[in-house]
Amino acid sequence: MKALEFRRNVPRFAAARLAGSLTPGRGASVGPLHLADLDPPTAPGPDWVRVRPRLSGICGSDLATIDGRSARYFEPFVSFPFVPGHEVVGDLDDGTRVVLEPVLGCVSRNLDPTCDPCATGQLGNCENTTFGDLEPGIQTGSCHDTGGGWATAFSAHPSQLHPVDGSFSDESAVMVEPTACAVHAALVADVPDGAIVTVLGAGTLGLLTIAALRTFAKPRTVVATARYPSQRRLAAELGADLVVEPDGIRRAVRRATGSRAVSIAGDDGAVDRLSGGTDVVVDCVGSSASLTDAMAITRPRGRIVLVGMPASVSLELTPLWHREIELVGAYTYGTETLPDGSTARTFDLAAGLVRAADLGRLVSATYPLHRYRDALEHAAAAGRRGAVKVAFDLRDEKEREALMEMSK
């Protein structure tokens, strides 16, 4: 079968890091990722099924991996070689169309009893992603045994699969996984009613987080940063009240919150930080710059939710200490407790939001697997090129049918 495989190859990894630093997405051309003809996946266990992807999205974390920017933190949590791809809508051999919930928790690893997070539905917090019957891998797309979505087939545990309503387009369905991340972030943010929330970044995750905040919280004002015109337009459409360029966020939040600016040089009109600030920041970038902005604009005892994958950052933590700011992460999804006390699977909430806000429209471009270099460069430059989500389209891959025949 055809797949994009990522091998452990230190020289190529270094080359990808260099190329990716010059041109985002260029790591695909020189790095460890390559188009391979692999044997069809072998089921890791008796319950496992084969999924033939229809659309498979490219995520920011994928791009970080391809360009060699991932934190070394993840090294124990992956098993080489692996096939990336965790935002997937695909077909089972019986024809059922499914969306993948890619986290590989205790159940898929055949561990009994499960860890406490898995027992309470917090799959993203599973403590056993390097143990059990599977090779290490926090998700499908980083585990050697399961394969991943950037292939004509991979293996999935039934607990990972959500059947898709026939009224859902493939484009909508492939947006469910990233939307689930955003829904989780919006709920982790724990936004007080009437609060002012700031979302940093208007890539896919930032835009979806704005939509999720508008659906699952009751903020008075949502301020957002967006670098490009199409992002600004979409951020406003999805619920941001004020959208500014990243450089202008301190001034914008100062105005929105009625704070005063504090300048290192005194009353010189510069805005180094704010006297008060926004109640909550959801940082969908995860860079040193965005976190520094977040610290500058969050009110005392406010909250910063880190959604964008940060890798290594350099950060002045004095404001965190001095202003008693809370810094929390928001990773993937599982089971959510809603403000009314009820619980729900994040994927179910996300599917509802995708439908209500027509988020399938955010799929801007699709590529066949063999054009992976173009696809990854497009995804890495999505904002600048007026795109949001870029995905691989495997619906016309000839091998899909061949695999189907083999299964018969």
Partner 1 sequence: MSNGHLAPRPGFVLDVDRSSPPVLFHHGEGFRLEKLPADRTRVIYPAEPLEGLADPDGAIRSALLNPLGDSEPLPALLHSGMKLTIAFDDISLPLPPMRRPDIRQRVIEAVLDLAAEAGVDDVHLIAALAIHRRMTENELRHAVGDRVYDAFAPSGRLYNHDAEDPDGMVVLGQTPHGEDVQFSKRAAESDLVVYVNINLVAMDGGHKSTATGLSGYTGLRHHHNVHTMLNSRSFMDQENSALHASNWRMGKVLRDADVKIFQVETTVNNNTFGREGPMSVLQKREWEWSPKDRAGFLAMQQGLKLMPSAAKRKVFSSWLAPYELTSVQAGEVEAVHEVTTANVYKQQLVPVEGQTDVLTMGLPYICPYNVNSIMNPILVMCLGLGYFFNLYRGKPLVREGGVLIMGHPTPWEFHPVHHPSYIDFFEQVLADTTDPAEIEKKWEKQFAEDEWYKHLYRTSYAYHGAHPFYMWYWGAHALQHLGRVIIVGGDTAAVRRMGFQPASTLQDALEMSTDVVGPQPTITHLKNPPILMADVT
Neighbours of 220 (CB within 10 A): 14
Whether omega before 81 lies within 30 degrees of 0, making that bond cis, reads yes
Neighbours of 348 (CB within 10 A): 15
Q: How many residues bind partner 1 (CB under 8 A)?
A: 17
- Which neighbouring-strand residues pair with 379? none
Residue 110 or 221 having the CB closest to partner 1: 221
How far, in whole angstroms, is CA 98 from its chain's centroid?
Answer: 19
- Which neighbouring-strand residues pair with 283? 200, 306
Distance CA 87, CA 333 (A): 13
Note whether 231 binds partner 1 by CB under 8 A. Answer: no
Note whether 272 binds partner 1 by CB under 8 A. Answer: no
Report, in Å, the least distance between residue 205 CB and partner 1.
23
Tokens of 137: 């891998």
Q: Which of these segments, 184-192, 254-262, 387-395, 400-408, binds partner 1 (CB under 8 A)?
A: 254-262
Note whether 316 binds partner 1 by CB under 8 A. Answer: no
Note whether 248 binds partner 1 by CB under 8 A. Answer: yes
Note whether 251 binds partner 1 by CB under 8 A. Answer: yes
Report, in Å, the least distance between residue 247 CB and partner 1.
8
CB 268 within 8 A of CB 312: no
Query: Do strands 389-393 and 49-57 pair parallel, antiparallel, or not at all (unpaired)?
Result: antiparallel
Note whether 242 binds partner 1 by CB under 8 A. Answer: yes
- Residue type, position 199, single letter: V
- Residue type, position 132, single letter: G
Query: Do strands 298-306 and 278-283 pair parallel, antiparallel, or not at all (unpaired)?
Result: parallel
- Interface residue with partner 1 among 47, 75, 133, 245 (CB under 8 A) is 245
Report, in Å, the least distance between residue 246 CB and partner 1.
11
Residue 238 or 261 having the CB closest to partner 1: 261
Report, in Å, the least distance between residue 255 CB and partner 1.
6
DSSP 82: B
DSSP 151: B
- Interface residue with partner 1 among 100, 261, 282, 305 (CB under 8 A) is 261
Note whether 264 binds partner 1 by CB under 8 A. Answer: no
Report, in Å, the least distance between residue 304 CB and partner 1.
23
- Interface residue with partner 1 among 28, 138, 153, 252 (CB under 8 A) is 252
Whole-number Cα distances in Å, 51 to 131, 162, 235: 23, 12, 34
- Interface residue with partner 1 among 259, 278, 298, 366 (CB under 8 A) is 259
Q: Which of these segments, 191-199, 251-259, 349-357, 383-391, binds partner 1 (CB under 8 A)?
A: 251-259
CB 25 within 8 A of CB 380: yes
Q: Which residues bind partner 1 (CB under 8 A)?
A: 242, 244-245, 248, 251-252, 254-255, 258-261, 266-270
